Chains A and B, each alone.
Chain A
């Protein structure tokens, strides 16, 4: 019972749905159809009403034209054109075919039967099922007009035409179609205004976002500038003293000064990483694509690595293919990726070796592999380390690093259209793979 009530309610909702339930992109088509239908109806009025009247006046007898059905076809077309969904349209077409079959069979088997009246009932039922509220009302009126006209014709002597009922129903049909047409016109106008307002709102929000983005960029640029200037003094004066430009320093003093330099360097890398991360997160990371000679980049990376390795019982093994091509990419960023991975490997490898490999990978890629014999990463941490500001327990204990190096490296690789992956076994070591396309397919957006 409850289910029946629900489906009845749903049926009522559909039945009484206002016209603006017709989807926006269907409204223009619906309006065009209602206009076309009006033209058809006017033509039919001429054929059904005007021509019989005039011939009756001139010749004395009016011809009986079997044209009534045509009107009903228009109604179906109307239902089809004005219906809300594909389901309704398919139903309208099916009903048209079925009703025609019924009418034809009635005409053949019972020639004296009043066809149009029977048809009108079916039309109204179909209209109620298929149409929007307005078409339903229109069809109901159409039916009422048809019946009233026929009754008036039968009961009184008032008989202005051959089939007064059909005449009235056609007038109603025309007025109804005209009203529908007007409604669609208003709806389309409303759509246009709503659309314009929405576009205006969108562009206003976009302007505000652009302005905010500009403020943010300026702030970051000025922060970076203001921090780098004093760091320039801190690092360079300390290094002058450390390098004994101003006179000899003892071992203890040198050690203290080295601490200052290391901290300064760390602060600098923190500034760089935070700026990079902000760019990545706001989607404004831009690559400067140029021809990159990988030999230069690799050499620079290995030189830096050698410097970091000093004093550690770790051997650096190089396995660099002799036919490395010149690739197109952002040289500074590729350097940054390799440096990041190498310094990570060195940081987490107490003894053993670090292997650096570079070779072509298939037709269109280049592959860097950095393998260490370090402490390794437990599988639970293997995705975590690619998240900003996240580090493994060992990483936090080491004390150095921002937790941004790997997410930045991965984003930079992906911005080139490449892939950064890793595999690791705790206690045995870690391997990072960077696969870069020979021609950067830059995915970065401005």
Chain B
């Protein structure tokens, strides 16, 4: 799968992080389908209404009204997103927080600050189905 086949949804409350990911995914990596939301209101409805079915979710943990763990749980109830990869993208990366992410069933973690040099490689590995637990 190349980036052109990726449909990415990113939920993030921090404006700077949204800005960075938008530039990185759309301008640097040239992913065509990148959707970024600042909150998780009406999450499943909004996801269902997207033109391309998302296959990669990047979720910040501290989002409102439903946090990253809640969003993961919601997505796991919908068979449509069985094949989608759900990755936590967060600055909460102490060992116990990472363990919680693993236990709740995230497919991986990309810790903040994001490393631009390795970010595309991480996405490649995620697409290939490899577990990625990257704490920068």
Contacts and interface: CB of A to CB of B under 8 A. Distances in A.
B28 interface: yes
Contacts of B99: 286, 288
Contacts of A225: 91-92
A275 B23 CA distance: 31
B27 A245 contact: yes
A204 interface: no
Contacts of B116: 236, 239-240, 243
B77 interface: no
B93 interface: yes
Contact of A235 (B93, B94, B113): B113
A237 interface: yes
Contacts of B20: 232-233, 236-237, 240
B93 A232 contact: no
A153 interface: no
A210 interface: no
A272 B135 CA distance: 10
Contacts of B28: 240, 243, 245
B108 interface: no
A277 to B, nearest CB: 13
Contacts of B93: 224, 228
A245 B114 CA distance: 16
Interface string B67-109: 0000000000000000000000001111111110010000000
Given A237-B20, A245-B23, A268-B136, A232 B114 contact: yes
A179 interface: no
B17 interface: yes
Nearest to A300: B118
B133 interface: yes
Contacts of A220: 94
Contacts of A190: none
Contact of B14 (A224, A229, A234, A240): A229
A279 interface: yes
Contacts of A272: 135
Q: Which of A217, A229, A236, A279 has the most CB of B within 10 A?
A: A236
Given A224-B93, A275-B94, A229 B23 contact: no
A332 interface: yes
A324 interface: no
B112 A229 contact: yes
A45 interface: no
B27 A279 contact: no
A371 to B, nearest CB: 27
B94 to A, nearest CB: 5
A208 to B, nearest CB: 20
A332 B94 contact: no
4 tightest CB-CB pairs across the interface, nearest first? Answer: A228-B91, A232-B113, A233-B16, A232-B112
Given A217-B96, A236-B24, 20 more contacts: A221-B96, A221-B97, A224-B91, A224-B92, A228-B113, A231-B113, A232-B16, A232-B17, A232-B20, A232-B113, A232-B114, A234-B113, A237-B20, A239-B116, A240-B20, A240-B28, A275-B94, A285-B95, A286-B99, A288-B98
Interface of B: 14, 16-17, 20, 23-24, 27-28, 91-99, 102, 111-114, 116, 133, 135-136
7 contacts: A217-B94, A224-B93, A228-B112, A233-B17, A236-B116, A279-B95, A286-B95
